[in-house]
Chains A and B, each alone.
Chain A
């Protein structure tokens, strides 16, 4: 049973990507859309709420405020509604319409931040609000329970599922870099086992969108992200992530969001340096439903890329 089963977190399927895997490489993917609100962030929301509860922070009359490009907000909204806690989510105004509708359906209040600033803009707004006080911010970018939830659930699930197949620890684990929670938590799990698993990040190129920056020193490295667990970081451009997202649908029958395409592209790129027999595990953060309105599945790849540019896809 999962350490966060009280919050509906059960192991997600680990599927083999037979058609996309290079010859001799065992490529597996964790299907995170099987979680309650359909994304990996159900783990993070559950972990942060469980930690806040254990610390006695969930007092009556409390309001939660959280910066999120959507998935964390949706996952938090599900749990806070069950607990009777109001929630405000700070969202870049260029995320997909489905994310906004889902947040509203789960009862969250929404405050928009400039889309041109990407997720950094929501984080900056959150930090300004935090100075004013009067509410609780779990702050996925700073909360140790974010990587902690992956160390408690995602990592052990991967180990158990590979063991069932008669396989040991993977040679590489590849995931997208957002808050850094997945990579840090799963990385610590394998480091704790003394496994030589290479931990590899797929990074989005959103730097081009952030016009509010005056210099590179205005960039943001989330405090929960522990770069020391990483063995590699691969830049995945918007076009490449959309292309691989479409290939996952066409060649593997998997209907996933664009960050999943980015993760698989990076996994395949890293797998090229591994020897036959190597095991590579990647993580598919969510399904494609929330991205239908962005047009990434429609028309040619050129048309899809043109529609996606300028949006916050992760």
Chain B
């Protein structure tokens, strides 16, 4: 089963309006490559020119930030939930 990627409101126009996308891959990076192939403008937001994660993008695999796991190399299993969010403040 492919992973499910939830798309934040600000990026839905780049994803044909979709709230969620499905894409296959063994890692988050592979899933994002697949998404970039299907939705090139969305891909530009998710991957920096160097191919890494842009600073304002937070990506969670099963609610854990991948920056503190293995980054784009974080493994993705069956039906993994990937959540994309902009960096935000509270306080």
Tell me the residues in window 29-81 of chain B with beta carbons closer than 8 Å to chain A beta carbons: 45, 54-58, 60, 63-65, 67-68
* CB-based contact A210/B86 at 8 Å: yes
Contacts of B63 in A (CB 8 A): 234-237, 269
Most buried by B among A72, A141, A207, A214: A207
* CB-based contact B9/A208 at 8 Å: yes
B86 touches which of A218, A259, A312 (Cβ 8 Å): A218
* CB-based contact B91/A210 at 8 Å: no
Q: Which residues of A contact B (CB under 8 A)?
A: 41, 68-69, 71-72, 118-120, 123, 140-141, 176-179, 181, 201, 203-208, 210-211, 213-222, 227, 230-237, 259, 269, 312, 314
B91 touches which of A216, A234, A236, A314 (Cβ 8 Å): A314
Contacts of B68 in A (CB 8 A): 230-233
Q: Is B17 an interface residue, CB under 8 A from the partner? A: no
Our count of residue pairs bridging A and B at CB distance below 8 angstroms stands at: 118
Q: Is B90 an interface residue, CB under 8 A from the partner? A: yes
* CB-based contact B54/A216 at 8 Å: yes
* CB-based contact B89/A178 at 8 Å: yes
* CB-based contact B60/A118 at 8 Å: no
* CB-based contact B65/A119 at 8 Å: no
Q: A233-B64, A233-B68 are in contact. Are A204 and B88 (CB under 8 A)?
A: yes
Determine the distance from Cα of A7 to Cα of B63 in the docked complex, in whole angstroms: 38
Interface of B is mostly: mixed
Chain B residues touching A, range: 20 to 34
Contacts of B60 in A (CB 8 A): 233, 235
Q: Is B10 an interface residue, CB under 8 A from the partner? A: yes
Most buried by B among A68, A230, A234: A234
Q: Please name 10 pairs of A and B residues whose Cβ atoms are closer than 8 Å in the assembled complex, sorted by A.
A: A118-B90, A207-B8, A210-B86, A215-B45, A216-B8, A216-B54, A218-B86, A221-B55, A233-B64, A237-B63
* CB-based contact B89/A216 at 8 Å: no
Name A140's closest neighbour in chain B (CB-CB). Answer: B91
A120 touches which of B45, B57, B89 (Cβ 8 Å): B89
Determine the distance from Cα of A258 to Cα of B12 in the docked complex, in whole angstroms: 29
Q: A234-B65, A235-B64, A235-B65 are in contact. Are A71 and B56 (CB under 8 A)?
A: no
Q: Is B27 an interface residue, CB under 8 A from the partner? A: no
B21: min CB distance to chain A, Å? 16
Contacts of B89 in A (CB 8 A): 118-120, 123, 141, 178-179, 220, 222
